[in-house]
Amino acid sequence: MQLRIGAVKTTMLICLSKAFLLTTPPNATFSIDESIPTMSKEERTAVYKRAEEIVKQAFARQPSYDDLLPALLKLGIEKLATECTMRVGVPIKPMLGNITKDLNDMAKILEGRQFTCEYKSPPRLPNPILPMATSNSYCTEADMSV
């Protein structure tokens, strides 16, 4: 039930990345880095994080364990990023941006870049998008009053 509703998806992807990073399946054409267990904690964490991101990105492009697992068995993690790509007719999962707590945090993150933002207001109120005076960005009227 948990897998069907996606409640443990992130945990599954992290476990898969570590499993394929540390072990080689029988008859695999790829090899693993035998030095991972002897690395320092910081180096090992960086290797784990990179592998997790590769597996998560591959799953975002091909959101099916039926596609992901055979690709991992055949290619390993390193080639997964280039070989497990989007296909016509397979919908991808929404990829959300970083959550920010307020407009000042967002302005720090996006400083010097062009962006468009939208304030979610109740449906009965108008929601116009107006140019911001300080940059080439766009913000709504409600954001400008903050």
Does 93 qualify as catalytic in the annotation?
no
Token duo for residue 79:
């080639």
8 A C-beta contact, residue 125 and residue 146: no
Rg, the chain, Cα only: 21
One DSSP character per residue, the chain reads -HHHHTTTHHHHHHHHHHHHHH---TT-SS---TTGGGS-HHHHHHHHHHHHHHHHHHHHHS--HHHHHHHHHHHHHHHHHHHS---TT-PPPP------SSHHHHHHHTTTS--B------TTS---EEE-SSSS-EEEHHHHT-
Instruction: Exactly one of 41, 101, 108, 120 is catalytic; name it.
Output: 120
The residues carrying an active-site annotation are 120
